[in-house]
Every structure is written in C-alpha cells, then in structure tokens.
Amino acid sequence: MPVTVVSLTEPGRALAARLLPNLPEAEYLHCPPSFTTAVQQRFLAGRRLILICAMGIAVRTLAPVLRDKYRDSAVLVMDEYGRFVIPLLSGHEGGANEWARQLSERLEAQCVITGAQRYTHPLLVAGMGCERHCALAALSRLMDETLAGHGLSRRDLHALASIELKRDESGLLALAEQLGIPIAFYPAGVLHHYSERLSRKSELVFRETGCYGVAEAAALAHAEQLSAGRAELIIPKQKNPHATFAVARVYADPEPSSP
C-alpha cells in the first residue's frame, strides 16, 4: 500500500529525511496548509501513514474518519527526534506492528506496541540461485561464509528457496537434505512481483530467467508464503563465481503445541 509521511517541525523534517531512503515511493508532506484535511484525505484513500507529531494531534485528526480495524490503514506515530515508533492503528490486521518493528530497527529507535502481543518469532529463509550443475561444495561455502559474516549459522535457517528452473538442480537438493530443511521453487512470474524490493536488479538475470533476481526474490517469496507478515531482506544478495545467496526474515505466530 502507498505511504505518506507528514511532519510539522524542523526536527521532524530532519527525521523524515532519514526515513525516506527506506520508503523510496513514499509521498512526503511538511507542514501542509491543512494538516487535518491532508491526513484525512490520504487515510480515506487507503494510504499508510507515518505522522511525525504528537499522539494527541494524530488521534484528534483521525478520530472522525475511523471505520474499523479491517478497513483502516496502518498508521504510525513518531516523535520528532525519532526516539519512538508507535503503531496507532491497524496493528495486527493492517500490519502496523510489524511495520513499526522494521522501522525501529532501521532507525535504532524504540518500538512501542501497546496492543495485545501475538509473541511472534522470526523465520529465516535463504534464497539461492546458481549456475547449472553447481557443485554442493560451492553452495555450502557461499552459504556458510555469508551466514558467519552476519553472526548466523545454518542452524538458523528455516527453509531454502529458488526459482522453478532449478527444481532439478542436484546441488540445491543435496544442500537442503544436508541442512534437514525444506526447499521450495517459485516460477519466474512470482519472483518478478518482488522486483521493486530487490537491493539491485539484473538485466542479465531477467533475460535468462524472466525475473530480475533469484536469491533475494525467492527468499522474500517463500518467507511470505510461510507467514501472513511482510518479509524483509536481512542479508542482501551475496555471490561467488557459481551461485548467489540471500536471507529474508518474517515474523510468524508460533505453532500450537500438540495436545
């Protein structure tokens, strides 16, 4: 969903400048002529909002146009110095809680969630692409070196994912078996939907596969298949001469224990 960021003070403007690189397609408004009109119109149009202002201002502005938690857009409120990120509306259904967590991590701010918590846990999914007949050793080396460089290990991975073209790739299948985790394959058309969320797009990969990236897109696609939440890349594409590797994270509700 589209995003609008609104600020009212000069420190708020500076905070917005820090936010916007993480929101490349966001609309930004600073001191609009009518704060109430601008915010209400965008809220009713279905835009997600980040309001850099006092909580009271946000509440009084949005109260007349609220409908219900299933239709209201996600709204975050931030103080002008970026110390706190508070999901104000649609925390669960609209994804504001998870959105607040992601922004708070990027800004090194404190995420303040006041609603009942689902006690979610992170799932890490590795996406991999490789040349034809890539050796298991080359895949393992890239994976282990990358994970170690980010303070992780293969034990942290929940699943592997790649493009449908690699469904019969023996090295990938052997790696999944070695790790003891499932592997999923996605058509190029599905991976293409993640193009705008890739750290970089490759025209060469597009010509060869029909999508702009395999490792990152596959990791995001499968992470979101495992949970209703929005996945994020925590390790962008890494590569060696034979393969590419990326890791996505998503938060999921813990599985119920067996009776």
Of 82, 111, 140, which residue is a domain's last?
111
Number of structural domains, the chain? 2
pLDDT tens digit sequence for 129-185? 999 999 999 999 999 999 999 888 999 999 999 999 999 999 999 999 999 999 999
User: Do 155 and 178 meet the contact criterion of CB atoms below 8 Å apart?
Assistant: no
Q: Based on the domain organization, do 133 and 25 belong to the same domain?
A: no
Q: Based on the domain organization, do 24 and 127 belong to the same domain?
A: no
Q: Based on the domain organization, do 97 and 156 belong to the same domain?
A: no
Q: Based on the domain organization, do 104 and 126 belong to the same domain?
A: no
Q: Which domain holds residue 193?
A: 121-252
Q: Based on the domain organization, do 86 and 135 belong to the same domain?
A: no
**The pLDDT of residue 93 is above 70:** no
* CA dist 152 → 17, 105, 149 (Å): 31, 18, 7
CA atoms of 127 and 82, how far apart (whole Å): 33
Whole-structure pTM value: 0.57
Q: Based on the domain organization, do 248 and 145 belong to the same domain?
A: yes
Q: Based on the domain organization, do 47 and 86 belong to the same domain?
A: yes
User: ∠ at Cα 26 (124, 92), nearest 5°?
Assistant: 50
Q: Based on the domain organization, do 7 and 103 belong to the same domain?
A: yes
User: Do 242 and 134 meet the contact criterion of CB atoms below 8 Å apart?
Assistant: yes
pLDDT tens digit sequence for 29-42? 999 999 999 999 99
DSSP calls for 8-60: -SHHHHHHHHHHGGG-TT-EEEES-S-HHHHHHHHHHTT-EEEEES-HHHHHH
